[in-house]
Structure 1
Amino acid sequence: MPFQSAGCNPGVEETKKAAWEWADANGLALTPVARKKMLRTRPELWISLIFPEASQKHLDLFCQWLFWAFLVDDEFDDGPAGRDPHMCEEAIARLVDVLDGAEPHGPMERALHGLRERTCVGRSPVWIRQFRRDTVSWLWTYYAEAVERAAGQVPSRADFVKHRRDSVAMQPFLDLHEITAGIDLPESARSLPAYIALRNAVTDHSGLCNDICSFEKEAVLGYEHNAVRLIQRDRRSTLQEAVDEAGIQLARIAERVQRAEKELAEEIEAAGIDGQTRAALERCARDYRGLVRGDFDYHARAERYTRPDLVEVDRRETLSQYFAA
């Protein structure tokens, strides 16, 4: 792994406590099974690893977003809504309406409404549009998957890479990074090709890392939207060969992050960007390195992905082969 760890935010335990209190206050009553799964998922760990310098206030807010997102993810990946396109469409449309300011109904919608209100206060219209676009794009990926499942279709590897860029839900958290970094990029900066390439590389790394660490669980559920599974199908390879290839691709994506950083510095100079906008872009490039490393470390530590069976051991060994600690 070419990026150094910045460690874990010291507020991790406090933010865990705040997340569960928030869930209870919003009526998000988890069943014993769902509660155990969330405890194994450890959203507070991911947030604390990718935002090691965030204030406690921001850490708590971002963790609650992640807690909510994991509930959504498990419902559409594992629950009936993910296998019924009509049910899925209705559920997502309601969430998007709430994100746009509609009256919420039910605990999940009310929780989303509260998160939106706390998050968007004081943010510019440009940032709000970006966050809305990224969040809505993530939500609608569940509908796309539900339709493909119902149709008996499996995406091509190339199509899946584009789909995964939205479905991993990293883009909204790159937007949230601006809050804790105290920046608000103008539209011109967001339009820089290297900035877009940098965000895409960070997001692609997270998606593939997640697929490597979750393909076994998803295979049991018959879930085909996983890069490792698609590599195995396309190449007619063994499972371990597919994992090895995914590990090689993960290393190449890390190289893309570094290349985009260099190109962003060149574009800043070419465009004559200075002042606060230059400092904000440089802050993004610096912090995104730690975000990639934190996401990688999380997948090696969270019980949601680390199980003691042989296949999981093989997978961790494969990852360590390409990314030295």
Structure 2
Amino acid sequence: MEQAGKAAWQWADRMGLQLSPAGERRMVRTRPELWISLIFPAAEQEQLDRMCQWLFWAFLVDDEFDDGPGGRDPYRCRRAIGQLIDVHDGAVPRSPVERALTDLLVRTCVGRDMGWNRQFRADNAAWLWTYVAETAQRAADQLPDLMTYAGHRRDSVAMQPFLNLHETVAGIRLTEAERCLPGYGKMRQAVTDHSGLLNDICSLEKEMALGYSHNAVLLIQQERGCGLQEAMDETGTLLEGVAQRLRHGERELAEQMNAAHMAGPARTALDTCIRDYRSMVRGDFDYHLAAERYTRPDLADSGGQQTMSALFTGTVP
């Protein structure tokens, strides 16, 4: 874990990701190396380093468009996110964040099959577009209803790209035939929904201070007309239900594999997902109870910028 953290900061320096003092404090308190180590405890060091760099990059994007100025200007947000997706599709990078993305894509996607690359691109794009959706709603002084938010949060928590990255760490390959199994889909949704609800609970103090309302607790409070504690309790009940959905998905997938007489690499790959997805949920839970980003949020370091970070603008030689 310590080596992965050092490697992430060295990589950021090579990519020109020069953070402001406040940005450095946020990243230190975020501890991306802790989350990666908890959800990928069996990863080789090179894999752990690369996954930590992915998370470092993702947190830079999240801090810019959730807490920072990028999420307050719909035009700039749409343009910046569109450029990141263009880079995902092979466009020449023009900013440090785009350059870092290109580096990660080359080191991650080369050698993966077309189906995996298609899924990874779709999940990354779905995550990135959620920033545009939220920025537009904030500008219009709107909030989603709870049902709409549940689907939005499944993308915005950014767990689905890391479920794809899990395949590279675990050394497995899922075909479209495996991905279409209902039990696998239920497991995947449960993992992402659990992470989104847990993050909403643990981010509540910071997000309330910033006036950021895309949070399940706050939406429940508004929709139900109840107190904050009651909304927190209801969110906790929802979280427990999602954990049960994961267990149901595990059982259903095992039954579906048995019914289909599935064996060989396909069976091994799905059995690995059953084992590791539960471990990833547990690691995500432990991380949120340990990282200072959530246990002791430093509100003075958030939301004070007025213009988009230089990491998202400019030209990279």
User: Which amino acid is the alignment partner of residue 213 of structure 2?
Assistant: E
Tell me which residue corresponds to 1:104. 93
Question: In the alignment, does 2:36 pair up with 1:47?
Answer: yes
2:281 matched to which residue of 1?
A: 292
Name the SS of the counterpart of 1:305 in structure 2.
Answer: helix
Q: Which residue of 2 aligns with 1:82?
A: 71
Of the three residues 116, 122, 135, the one matched with 1:127 is: 116
2:205 to 211, 216, 230: 216
For residues 70 and 198 of structure 2, the distance between their equivalents in structure 1, rounded to whole angstroms, comes to: 25
CA distance in 2, matches of 1:180, 1:72: 23
Higher relative contact order (CA 8 A, sep 6+): 2
2:140 paired with 1:140:
no
Query: How many pairs are equivalent?
Result: 298
CA distance in 1, matches of 2:138, 2:182: 34
Aligned to 2:235: 246
Instruction: Say yes or no: does 1:258 pair with 2:247.
Output: yes
Which residue of structure 1 aligns with residue 266 of structure 2?
Answer: 277
1:187 corresponds in structure 2 to 176
Q: SS state of the match for residue 301, structure 1?
A: coil
Say which of 27, 30, 49 aligns to 1:38.
27
TM-score by length of 1: 0.90
**TM-score, normalising length: structure 2:** 0.92
Matched to 2:109, the amino acid is: C
Instruction: Give the Å deviation of 1:308.
Output: 8.6
Secondary structure in 2 aligned to 1:29? coil
Instruction: Single out whichever of 299-308 and 289-298 deviates more from structure 2.
Output: 299-308
Identity %: 62
Which residue of the partner structure matches residue 202 of structure 1?
191
SS of 1:147 mapped into structure 2: helix
Residue aligning to 1:18 = 7
CA shift for structure 1 position 71: 0.3
- Aligned match of 2:315: none
Task: Extract structure 1 runs of 4+ deviating beyond 4 A.
Answer: none
What is the deviation of 1:184? 0.9
Q: 1:142 to 1:308 in 2, by over 3 A?
A: closer
The CA distance in 2 between the partners of 1:56 and 1:126, in whole Å, is: 26
> Which stretches in structure 2 are left out of the alignment for 5+ residues?
299-317
2:296 counterpart residue number: 307
Equivalent residue letter for 1:110: R
